[in-house]
């Protein structure tokens, strides 16, 4: 049945339509980013601009302190990544490998935090950050995410799978616990570590909600906020400049996705299935 | 190998002799401390503070927080806007999850094949999942632009009237649902495909030997084997949809005439625009209750499933 020519043609048409639904918006974004303002206001729309308007990107970049936004984005994302690894690894090891009083209580607490979304607690956290004086600084964007319940959960599972004999052999050779983590645990958990890094990077690079709520001036704003403000600066009409800005935001992620496609998909789907 | 265990035990014995505050005993606590400290500071304490604030009247600047009992909650429940927020949230969640799940199940059955074409298609439909919601929102605002947008151009091309996608109260919520489905469908499809691939092949081979027709194979093997995945995606979808904020803030700002206002946006407005911290917190507590119920249901069903196996 599946090899009949009619089925093949219908299948092919279906695939092309599906591809159009998911690719055309991005093509449209790229096409608009190179248009002149006049070309965005024609009906029916133009697909290929007459001349490529590279200055749209310059205009988008110069419409605000974009260098500052970019640096903030990089610093926030990297520091979150570093702090998360620094806090997740020891916690996951302790939960996976030690017995201690109140262990189950602390692990339950971690699991409760896994269930609490930032969209639920932003208001009280905002009030707290404000009274501690770190509102509108990059620390307000970093510290709440300096650890990850999800990360502890995943890494603990991976650490628990390492056979006890391996650790006993290492302890016989007088390896310290730190050496065991570094030489045995982390190399074996490498796929999980890559998954967590990809996850955290994509989530915080793209994040709009938290920086929107926790910043009030340009000194701590990040790239997604700057891009979102393009629309307000330009009054909503200059779609060519808005799309140029968005292309700058989307392109790095799409390039990473292109090269690490298998890894990223496996990371998201694997953590989805678990 | 047992020797190492003995050595470890000896280490512990020695630690016991040294008294209560030995390093071996304290070590696990030291290792979990940074994470637990951050959880308490930024997750547990704020939840408690939010519940506290929900029983008070406060405008964020005043030094006093007046205790008002449950009046914030009774205000919310009598507020027409808030009732709209609840119904909008439920409509948005129901249709987003229903459409995403059913379409991605169909796509998964279709695209679950080997070969370059199919893995390319899987990657294509997945790509919106990793794009910033800022870009997704702005891209779709432009596509849904009433005058020069791509979508109305296409509708006119096939002989239909232009639609005021984001600026009319009838269509705005539908438009946001469409964007959510577009963004979420790829992730759901790929999780379904992973679920399909984990079904043991011999089940199908046995059914084929028995000459079981394909639709019966689907109903008797695929559906039951896929039900944990289906359940997982539904719950995650519901929990995420209840928290929708970004697309609403960027694309409609809750409007027109409150038609796309949902929970998190309402909390945001009352907290940061009207400075009614008490109302905002009370709305947050209601959201907390809804999310907690969903989470508990999830784990109850999940633990039952584990028992069945």
Say if residues B112 and B200 touch (Cβ distance below 8 Å): no
Range in B7-11, B28-32, B40-44, B132-136 with the lowest mean pLDDT: B7-11
pLDDT score for A259: 86
User: Domain span at residue A270?
Assistant: 1-63+234-274
Listed by number, the residues of chain B in 175-234 with a beta carbon closer than 8 Å to a beta carbon of chain A are 182, 186-187, 190-191, 193-195, 198, 229, 232-233
Residue A1 scores a pLDDT above 60: no
Q: Do B142 and A239 make contact, defined as CB atoms within 8 angstroms?
A: yes
Mean pLDDT, chain A, whole residue set:
89
A88 and A14 assigned to the same domain: no
Decide: A115 and B291 in contact? Cβ < 8 Å: yes
Q: Which residues of B touch A116 (CB under 8 A)?
A: 43, 47
> pTM (2 decimals)?
0.88
Alpha-carbon gap, residue A205 to B284, rounded angstroms: 26
Strand partners, B57: B66
pLDDT band at B1 (very low <50, low <70, confident <90, very high): very low
- Given 3-state DSSP classes, what are the helix, strand and coil percentages for chain A, each rounded to the nearest 5? 80, 0, 20
Co-location of A100 and A203 in the same domain = yes
The minimal CB distance from B142 to the residues A23, A243, A273 is found for A243
Are residues A95 and A203 both part of a single domain? yes
Q: What is the mean pLDDT of residues A162-186?
A: 90
Could you read off the pLDDT of A38-64 as tens digits, one per residue? 888 887 788 888 888 898 899 889 888
Last residue of one domain, picked from the residues A209, A226, A253: A209
All structural domains of chain B, each given as residue ranges with its CATH number in brackets, are 79-308 (1.10.3720.10)
Q: What would the mean pLDDT of A22-49 be, rounded to a whole number?
A: 87
C-beta separation of A210 from A141 below 8 A: yes
Mean pLDDT of A159-177: 90
Six-digit token pair at A29?
């974004």
Q: What is the pLDDT of residue B308?
A: 41
In this structure, the answer to whether residues A5 and A106 fall within a common structural domain is no
**Where is the domain boundary, A194, A209, A224?**
A209
pLDDT in tens, B84-119: 999 999 999 999 999 999 999 999 999 998 888 998
Tally helices (H) and strands (E) across chain A: 16, 0
Residue A96 lies in a domain: yes
Q: How confident is the model at residue B84, as a pLDDT? A: 92
Residues A147 and A250 in one domain: no
Tokens representing B292? 């907690």
Task: Give the pair of three-digit tokens for residue B34.
Answer: 């940074």
**What is the domain count for chain A?**
2
CA A67 to chain B, closest CA, distance in angstroms equals 18
pLDDT tens digits for range B250-307: 999 887 888 999 999 999 999 998 999 999 999 999 999 999 998 888 888 877 764 4
Domain co-membership, A87 together with A200 = yes
Q: Which two tokens stand for residue A41?
A: 């206001």
Residues A188 and A81 in one domain: yes
Q: Same domain, yes or no, for A192 and A130? A: yes
Inside any domain, residue A223: no
Mean pLDDT of B176-196: 94
* Phi-psi map region of A51: left, alpha, beta (phi>0 left; psi -120 to 50 alpha): beta
ipTM of the complex: 0.88
Spatial CA neighbour of B101 closest among B237, B224, B195, B301: B237
Q: Provide the shortest C-alpha distance from residue A207 to chain B (in Å).
A: 7
pLDDT digits (tens, 9 = 90+) for B124-180: 999 999 999 999 999 999 899 888 888 999 999 898 888 888 989 889 999 999 999
Q: What is the CA radius of gyration of chain A?
A: 24
**B4/B223: higher pLDDT:** B223
Residue A222 lies in a domain: no
Which of B31, B127, B292 is closest, CB to CB, to A90?
Answer: B31
Q: Which residues contact B288 (CB under 8 A, 6 or more apart)?
A: A120, B47, B50
In a domain, A70, yes or no: no
Of B130, B229, B292, nearest to A253 by CB-CB distance is B130
Please tell me whether residues A138 and A198 are part of one structural domain.
yes
* CA distance linking residue B165 with residue B146, whole number of Å: 7
Q: Residue A265: inside a domain, yes or no? A: yes
Residue with tokens 């849904």: B144
**Cβ burial B242-271 (10 Å sphere, 16+ → b, else e):** bbbbbbbbbbbebebeebbbbbbbbbbbbb
């Amino acid at each position: 049945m599946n090899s009949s020519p009619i089925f093949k043609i219908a299948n092919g048409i279906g695939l092309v339509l599906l591809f159009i639904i998911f690719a055309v918006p991005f093509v449209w974004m790229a096409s608009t980013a190179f248009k002149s303002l006049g070309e965005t206001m024609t009906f029916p729309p133009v697909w290929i601009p007459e001349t490529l308007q590279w200055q749209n990107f310059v205009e988008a970049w110069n419409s605000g302190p974009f260098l500052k936004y970019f640096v903030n984005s990089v610093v926030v994302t990297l520091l979150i990544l570093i702090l998360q690894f620094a806090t997740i690894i020891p916690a996951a090891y302790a939960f996976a490998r030690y017995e201690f009083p109140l262990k189950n209580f602390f692990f339950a607490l971690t699991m409760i935090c896994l269930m609490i979304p930032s969209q639920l607690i932003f208001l009280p956290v905002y009030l707290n950050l404000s009274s501690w004086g770190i509102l509108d600084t990059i620390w307000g964007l970093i510290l709440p995410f300096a650890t990850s319940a999800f990360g502890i959960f995943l890494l603990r599972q991976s650490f628990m799978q390492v056979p006890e004999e391996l650790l006993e052999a290492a302890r016989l050779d007088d390896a310290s616990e730190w050496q065991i983590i570094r030489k045995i645990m982390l190399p074996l958990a490498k796929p999980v570590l890559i998954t967590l890094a990809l996850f955290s990077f994509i989530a915080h690079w793209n994040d709009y909600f938290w920086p929107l709520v926790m910043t009030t001036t340009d000194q701590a704003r990040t790239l997604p906020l700057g891009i979102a403000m393009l629309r307000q600066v330009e009054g909503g009409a200059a779609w060519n400049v808005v799309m140029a800005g968005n292309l700058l935001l989307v392109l790095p992620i799409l390039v990473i996705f292109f090269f690490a496609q298998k890894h990223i998909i496996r990371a998201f789907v694997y953590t989805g299935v678990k | 190998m047992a020797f190492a265990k003995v050595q470890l035990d000896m280490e512990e014995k020695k630690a016991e002799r040294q008294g209560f505050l030995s390093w071996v005993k304290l070590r696990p606590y030291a290792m979990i401390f940074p994470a637990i400290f951050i959880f308490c500071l930024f997750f547990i304490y704020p939840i408690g503070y939010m519940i506290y604030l929900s029983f008070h009247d406060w405008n964020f600047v005043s030094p006093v927080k007046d205790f008002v009992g449950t009046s914030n909650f009774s205000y919310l429940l009598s507020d027409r806007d808030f009732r709209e927020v609840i119904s909008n949230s439920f409509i948005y969640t129901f249709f987003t999850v229903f459409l995403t799940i059913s379409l991605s199940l169909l796509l998964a059955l279709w695209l679950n094949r080997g070969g370059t074409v199919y893995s390319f298609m899987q990657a294509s439909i997945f790509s919106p999942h990793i794009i910033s919601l800022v870009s997704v929102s702005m891209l779709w605002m432009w596509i849904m632009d009433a005058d020069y947008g791509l979508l109305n151009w296409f509708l006119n091309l096939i002989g239909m009237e232009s639609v005021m996608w984001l600026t009319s109260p009838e269509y705005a919520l539908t438009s946001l649902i469409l964007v959510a489905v577009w963004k979420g469908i790829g992730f759901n499809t790929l999780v379904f495909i992973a679920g399909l691939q984990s079904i043991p092949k011999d089940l199908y081979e046995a059914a084929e030997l028995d000459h079981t027709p394909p639709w019966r194979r689907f109903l008797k093997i695929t559906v039951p084997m896929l039900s944990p995945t289906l359940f997982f995606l539904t719950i995650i979808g519901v929990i995420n949809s209840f928290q929708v904020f970004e697309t609403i803030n960027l694309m409609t700002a809750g409007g027109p005439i409150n038609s796309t206002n949902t929970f998190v946006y309402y909390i945001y407005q009352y907290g940061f625009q009207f400075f009614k911290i008490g109302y905002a917190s009370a709305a947050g507590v209601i959201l907390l209750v809804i999310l907690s119920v969903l989470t508990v249901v999830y784990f109850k069903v999940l633990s039952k499933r584990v028992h069945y196996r």
